[in-house]
Copies of this chain bind each other. A is one copy, B any other.
Amino acid sequence: MPFAEYQHCLCFNLRRATRAITQYYDHALAGSGLRATQLPILARLAPGPMTMSDLAAWLGMDRTTLVRNLRPLEEANYVASAPRARGRQLELSLTEEGAALLRKAYPLWKEAQTSLTRSLGDARWAALIADLATAGETISAGRN
């Protein structure tokens, strides 16, 4: 009976850890009105506008997922979208409210980030993230 082997599923173990850590950041950010999943979107737009497709590629998520994830951010006026000259491209930009929210969330995020970093130490976290990136590149290379 090979069922015990499923317990070592890398996908499952990763998802379980990600659930726990996402909750941790969500609780830390609770007072800010931002979720852990929304913060990277705003942060990536802070240096300057981007198109929808480029932002989705950078975030490593399906383009159509980003369409929905942006909706509450646009309704709250944290992100603005405007058509660009070329083709149907949309230019997404951070509004002043969005920038203000990022500044407000920063200490909450920083506290969670620092505290979680301490659990393993900088070096091991860096290695872990680098390893995950390596694995991610390996499997996307396999699609070519």
Q: Interface of A with B (CB < 8 Å)? A: 1-22, 24-25, 36-37, 39-40, 43-44, 46-47, 59-61, 102, 106, 109-110, 112-113, 115-117, 119-120, 124-125, 128-129, 131-136, 138-140, 142
Whole-angstrom CA separation of A7 from B102 in the bound complex: 13
Cβ contacts under 8 Å, A5 to chain B: 110
Q: A116-B139, A139-B24 are in contact. Are A132 and B17 (CB under 8 A)?
A: yes
Interface majority SS (helix, strand, loop, mixed), chain A: helix
Protomer copies: 2
> How many Å from the CB of A117 to the closest CB on chain B?
7
Q: A15-B37, A46-B1, A131-B120 are in contact. Are A136 and B9 (CB under 8 A)?
A: no
Whole-angstrom CA separation of A12 from B19 in the bound complex: 12
Whole-angstrom CA separation of A1 from B46 in the bound complex: 9
Cβ contacts under 8 Å, A142 to chain B: 115
Cβ contacts under 8 Å, A7 to chain B: 43-44
Whole-angstrom CA separation of A16 from B129 in the bound complex: 10
